[in-house]
Each structure stands twice: as C-alpha cells, then as structure tokens.
A and B are shown apart, each in its own frame.
Chain A
C-alpha cells in the first residue's frame, strides 16, 4: 500500500490554486495533442468495424495476477484492466471490440506509472499474436499519420523511424544482446524483471518501434503457451523510445489450464502476503465458449508521451494524484 500523497514535499502545497493554474496551463498543448491522438485511435478502430464498448470499473473479482494489485472499492474492486469483462463479450459473440478506459493499480507511481491511468484494450477474434503485432503496428502508423508526424518521430533526442520493416526481437535474443546474465540464469536467480527493466528495456524501440516477443512462461496468467515451444508464451510487448507501450498476446482459452494458472497466481499472492482476490467464476464459466482470439492492452498516456515528446507521464494527463 502506497499512500501516494505522502510523497509530496510540503513545499509543493504552499499555493495550491496558483500552482494548479500554472501546471494545468502548461499542459494545454500536450492535452490538445492527446485529444487528437485519442480521436485517431477511435477512427482507426471504427474504420476496421470494431465496436467500442464500456465495461464496469467496479468488479467483484479482478484477474489473479501475481504482480498486479487491485484497489478495493467497498467489498468490490476497481478493475486493473478490462480484460475479463471484454473476454466475456468475446465469448458472447462480439468478434472485434475495443475500449478506452481508466484502470487502477495499487502502489504504482513513477515517471511512467500512475495509480489511475488510461488503457486502450482491444480483442480480435480469429487471429494470433503474430497478426496482432501487425495490427498494433498499423495502429501506431495510422495515429502518427493522423497527427501529421511523417515517417520519423522525435522522442527525447532519439529519432524513431516508423516505416517498415519493424524491429522484432525475441526475449531470448534480447538477453543475448543486452543482459549480463543469460535468460536461464536470470530466471533462476529471480532477476528476470530487474534485467528487463534496467538492461533491456532502455534499448528497445530506440530507433524504431520494437516488438519484443516470446516471453518465458513465468508471470502472465491469461496468455496461451506456444505450441512449438512450451517454454514460452505467445506474448509480446511494444517498445518505443525505451518505454513499454503495449502488451499483447494470443489469449488462453483452455479452461483447465486457466484454472491452474489462477491457482498458481493465488498461491504466489498468498505466500507473498498479498491480498488474494475471489476467483472470477463468471469468466471461467464462459471461457470454454470463447473463440480463438488475440488481445492487446496499450498505455494511452505513454503513447501520448511519445507523440508529445514529453519525458514524464505527469506531462500528458490533467491531474496527477498529488494534485487531487
């Protein structure tokens, strides 16, 4: 539990009204650009016959992920992502759906993290993660073109070229290139996340958007394992300018496997002394009818950072928790 407000230095509260006005006025250009970006995203999906949906923010049972903590709202929870409800729509016969919504995660605050942030999430029936990567790339190019960016965008002194071919790197290759430890060693010594964050991520998407794919079966709970190589899951992340922008995967539709994964995540949480959420039974009940699909979660605030060339997530949102 991080009461974020405690991280504010007392000095920053001296003249709240003036400070508020100044901070918000400074963000005007960024907020206009963010608005245009979100319109461009909506246009992209609308052109491809996607249905824009809204699912509840307050839910009874968030997906039991090992490292994602939900914020409680009386006896319920604020969703950490709209994944489970969107998959129920998928199972009910909605083949292409997208949503732009707020998500809430306990204890996440940093230069690229907010405890309340905006997520774009979409699901596409009948495709796998490979095709999803292409769709994701088309989204980025289409938004860039709507914003009048041309083929090269500038982010914090780096030139990111948007034209094809895109850069693709498996997690194994990324470890070979940038990590002081091998992939196996880093998993064994529980250093995977640290190496990802400190050694690999900063190099990803430096010159062009990078798709980092085939993650070791390790921490995600809702992703399909790769048939040809059961040690990895069909998951990828999109990086731009050293920052993780989006996370996509072929969705796990095997209910027994799903129950097992949830069980493991719940056990992990119990051992770590974290709150264990109720089992999302309604989701599990309809999972057998969910068609093959791939789904993507994209950080809208972070994409706005890229398209406004701003270094902190604070710069592209109206209010940060410290100013509420």
Chain B
C-alpha cells in the first residue's frame, strides 16, 4: 500500500481497478491547513489524463504491473503482434500504444511488454537496435553544402540523419531513446 506522502512523479498506482501513472506531482499546503498532494494522472490503458488532489490519509495499492519478454511478429491493420516464445501465446498493441516504437521494430525483435493484469499496455525497446538502410543519396565528395549529415530511410520506414559515408544496404545502430544514429555496424 502507498500513502499520499509516497506519491511522486512516475509512480504507478491502482485507482478504481485501473492502473495510473503520476505524470505531474506537487505538494501544496495552505497556511494553517492540511497537506494536499496534487497529481496529474494518466490512465495507462486508455491514456486519458486528469487532475486529482489527495489528502494525507488517502491510501492506494500499487498497480499490478509486470513485464514479459516477447518477440515482435508483424503488423496488420494498425495492430502490432507479439509472441511469447515460451508458450507461443500472442498479444497485440494498437498503433497508439506502440507510438514511436514502430520506427525500430523488425521481425523477431525481442522487446519487453508491460502488462496490467492480462492487458498489454506498452512496449519497451532495447536501448540500441541495428537496422538496414534501404534508401540513401550517394555521397558527393567535397560537397560542403549538404553539411556533415544526410537523410536516409531505414527498413522500418524511419528517416534520420546520418554521416554522409553511410550507403544503401549498410546496417547502422540507432539509439531508440533519442532516435539518433550511433555507429555503422559490420555484419
């Protein structure tokens, strides 16, 4: 159980049978009055946000969340399918739930899926993924106008800026947290 005084940004709690994450938190206390804990909460299933003020005496349960390693299979009609490689059970996440992660998912990528009870909520990617460049402009030596980077497209359709020496067909490592190029990868 959590007390109101345990509340802080990022804490995941269960309210009315739903998991919520605290996205903003402030402690307020009128002059001679009681302590209040003002929170912005985001429902981790529906994504809806609202504000709520708790008092010192309020208590909550932790949200029953667990992570499971799963393999990305494919996407179809805005649904992204994943499989548990132990029992072959499949789950899907919607495009909204996937968000930016779609830029880094290729077949068989192993990810962590966060579940609330039996509902999959979100995906966490490895910090670095290796992806193939499918489209790149050729590099014109001595071309100073284009600067130190050029745009390329990866096999997932994601576009990013890379150093000019990267060519089509090469594999590069991308940081999934920043979306930035890290290095060239030799197979």
Residues of A within 8 A of B (CB): 1-2, 7, 9, 65-68, 107-113, 192-194, 196-198, 201, 215, 219-220, 237, 244, 247, 272
**A198 near B33 (CB under 8 angstroms)?**
no
**B33 near A247 (CB under 8 angstroms)?**
no
CA A244 – CA B28 in complex, angstroms? 11
A-B contacts, 20 of them at CB < 8 A, read A1-B5, A7-B8, A66-B32, A67-B32, A67-B33, A107-B35, A108-B27, A110-B26, A110-B27, A110-B29, A112-B28, A113-B29, A193-B29, A196-B30, A197-B53, A198-B28, A198-B38, A215-B32, A247-B32, A272-B57
Output the nearest chain B residue to A212 by Cβ-Cβ distance.
B31
Q: Report the 5 A-B pairs with minimum CB-CB distance, sorted nearest first.
A: A110-B27, A193-B33, A220-B32, A196-B30, A219-B32
Q: How far is the CB of A36 from chain B (nearest CB, A)?
A: 27
CA A108 – CA B35 in complex, angstroms? 8
Within 8 A of A (CB), among B17-68: 26-36, 38, 53, 55, 57
Q: How far is the CB of A268 from chain B (nearest CB, A)?
A: 10
Output the nearest chain A residue to B51 by Cβ-Cβ distance.
A198
**B36 near A193 (CB under 8 angstroms)?**
yes
Contacts of A244 in B (CB 8 A): 30-31
**B33 near A196 (CB under 8 angstroms)?**
yes
Most B C-beta atoms less than 10 A away, residue of A67, A112, A201, A220: A67
Output the nearest chain A residue to B30 by Cβ-Cβ distance.
A196
- B53 partner, pick from A113, A192, A198, A237, beta carbons under 8 A: A198
Q: How far is the CB of A323 from chain B (nearest CB, A)?
A: 17
Q: Is the interface of B mostly helix, strand, loop or mixed?
A: loop
Q: How far is the CB of A272 from chain B (nearest CB, A)?
A: 8
**B33 near A219 (CB under 8 angstroms)?**
yes
Q: How far is the CB of A3 from chain B (nearest CB, A)?
A: 10
CA A113 – CA B38 in complex, angstroms? 13
Contacts of A247 in B (CB 8 A): 31-32
Output the nearest chain B residue to A191 by Cβ-Cβ distance.
B53
Contacts of B29 in A (CB 8 A): 67, 108, 110, 113, 193, 197
Extra inter-chain contacts (19) besides given A1-B5, A197-B38, A201-B30, CB under 8 Å: A67-B35, A107-B35, A108-B27, A108-B29, A109-B27, A110-B26, A110-B27, A111-B26, A113-B28, A193-B30, A193-B36, A196-B33, A197-B33, A197-B53, A198-B28, A198-B38, A219-B32, A244-B30, A272-B57
Q: How far is the CB of B121 from chain A (nearest CB, A)?
A: 21
Q: How far is the CB of A220 from chain B (nearest CB, A)?
A: 4
**A193 near B27 (CB under 8 angstroms)?**
no
CA A107 – CA B34 in complex, angstroms? 12
CA A108 – CA B30 in complex, angstroms? 11
CA A2 – CA B8 in complex, angstroms? 12
**B26 near A237 (CB under 8 angstroms)?**
no
Q: How far is the CB of B53 from chain A (nearest CB, A)?
A: 6
Q: How far is the CB of B27 from chain A (nearest CB, A)?
A: 3
Contacts of B8 in A (CB 8 A): 7
Most A C-beta atoms less than 10 A away, residue of B30, B35, B36, B55: B30
**A110 near B28 (CB under 8 angstroms)?**
yes
Contacts of B30 in A (CB 8 A): 193, 196-197, 201, 244
Contacts of A272 in B (CB 8 A): 57
Contacts of B33 in A (CB 8 A): 67, 192-193, 196-197, 219
CA A200 – CA B183 in complex, angstroms? 54
Q: How far is the CB of B30 from chain A (nearest CB, A)?
A: 4
Contacts of A194 in B (CB 8 A): 36, 53, 55
Given contacts A2-B5, A110-B26, contact A65 B36 (CB under 8 A): no
Most B C-beta atoms less than 10 A away, residue of A1, A68, A192, A194: A194
Output the nearest chain B residue to A67 by Cβ-Cβ distance.
B34
CA A85 – CA B31 in complex, angstroms? 20
Output the nearest chain A residue to B28 by Cβ-Cβ distance.
A197
Given contacts A196-B30, A198-B53, contact A107 B36 (CB under 8 A): no
Contacts of B5 in A (CB 8 A): 1-2, 107
